[in-house]
């Protein structure tokens, strides 16, 4: 089946048109997922296949991120979130960690320059305390620029992020409020937990994509993914193209989301 995705404006009702529309053909109008999240996997294997160092895979993966984030904004996805560095990734060789930090520096500097022009709010979530101070400063500068944007699309990088770590931190914050007498244990609801996560002001992801043939969650958006649809593909992240995103969205539309109902 051929398909076309109509460009939508982030923040407005969004339509994607699937199907080849002949004179008498039925038209299907479907919404682009509001929030797409990606586990950017396969950079190391991509580099190895080419006899290149792993960091070359990450550098190409960062280019892919730029292209796919722009494409998703162009088709009307309001929130695009990527797993860029997990709480476990510190165990990697120091030169790989350094290379990733340099990619973050470079991208955040670009983002500060370009955010207003593109109306994309770049955000970083995770346990940011342990990041190098200059990166934390760039993140603060990003936040300052992002705060001035009107109804932007959001590109969120999860850095030093772990789903369990995030829930643990939320529980700690809630426990502090209970201890201080600001909150009664009986008043703790699912929303209380949601509102103490790094993603408090974001909707849950509708679609989570994992390239590279791995079929697991790897501690990504554990709480938020309760009703997300997953899409797995063998394509390695540096090779991931806008057409692959189209395929993921088409697959998403073939599913029936019932949220526990019938």
Which positions lie near ligand FPP, rule CB under 6 A?
A: 40-45, 54, 58, 61-62, 65, 82, 84, 89, 100, 103-104, 107, 157, 212
Q: How near is the Cβ of 155 to ligand FPP at its closest, in Å?
A: 9
Give the count of beta carbons closer than 10 Å to the beta carbon of residue 167: 15
CB of 80 to ligand FPP, least distance (A): 11
d(CA 1, CA 70): 25
**Minimum separation from the CB atom of position 153 to ligand FPP (A):** 16
Q: Which is nearer to ligand FPP, 104 or 232 (CB)?
A: 104
Q: Provide CB contacts within 8 A for 236, sequence distance 6+.
A: 41, 42, 43, 45, 46, 211, 212
Q: Measured between alpha carbons, how far apart are the two ends of the chain, in Å?
A: 28
How many angstroms separate the CA atoms of 118 and 125, rounded?
A: 21
Sign of the torsion angle spanned by Cα atoms 72, 74, 77, 80: positive
Whether 208 contacts 233, CB under 8 Å = no
Q: Which is nearer to ligand FPP, 82 or 197 (CB)?
A: 82
CA gap 146, 262 in Å, rounded: 40
Write out the two tokens for 243.
């057409």
**Residue 169 appears among annotated catalytic residues:** no
Asked about 74 being catalytic, the answer comes back as no
Q: Take residue 11 and report the two structure tokens written for it.
A: 């923040």
Residue whose CB is less far from ligand FPP, 124 or 249: 124
Cβ neighbours for 154, distance < 8 A, ≥ 6 positions apart: 78, 79, 80, 81, 120, 121, 123, 202
Catalytic residue chosen out of the listed positions 89, 118, 195, 219 = 89
For ligand FPP, the closer of residues 86 and 199 by Cβ is 86
- Tell me the closest approach of the beta carbon of residue 236 to ligand FPP, in angstroms: 7
- Quote the least distance from Cβ 242 to ligand FPP, whole Å: 17
Nearer to ligand FPP, 70 or 89 (CB): 89
Catalytically annotated residues: 41, 89
């Amino acid at each position: 089946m051929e398909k076309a995705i109509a460009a939508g404006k982030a923040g407005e009702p969004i339509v994607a048109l699937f199907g080849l529309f002949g004179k008498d053909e039925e038209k299907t109008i479907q919404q682009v997922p509001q929030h797409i999240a990606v586990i950017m996997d396969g950079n190391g294997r991509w580099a190895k296949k080419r006899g290149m160092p792993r960091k070359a895979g990450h550098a190409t993966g960062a280019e892919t991120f730029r292209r796919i984030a722009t494409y998703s904004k162009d088709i009307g996805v309001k929130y695009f979130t990527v797993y860029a560095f997990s709480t476990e990734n510190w165990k990697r060789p120091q030169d790989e960690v350094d290379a990733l930090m340099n990619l973050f520096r470079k991208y955040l500097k670009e983002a500060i320059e370009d955010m207003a022009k593109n109306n994309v709010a770049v955000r970083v979530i995770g346990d940011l305390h342990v990041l190098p101070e200059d990166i934390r400063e760039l993140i603060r500068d990003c936040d300052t620029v992002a705060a001035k944007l009107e109804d932007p699309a959001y590109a969120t990088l999860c850095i030093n992020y772990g789903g369990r770590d995030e829930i643990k931190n939320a529980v700690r914050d809630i426990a502090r409020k209970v201890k201080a007498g600001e909150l009664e244990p009986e008043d703790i609801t699912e929303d209380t937990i949601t509102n103490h996560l790094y993603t408090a002001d974001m909707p849950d992801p509708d679609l989570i994509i994992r390239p590279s043939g791995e079929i697991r969650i790897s501690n990504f958006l554990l709480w938020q993914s309760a009703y997300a649809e997953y899409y797995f593909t063998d394509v390695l992240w540096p090779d991931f193209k806008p057409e692959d995103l189209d395929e993921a969205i088409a697959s998403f539309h073939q599913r029936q989301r019932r949220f526990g109902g019938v």
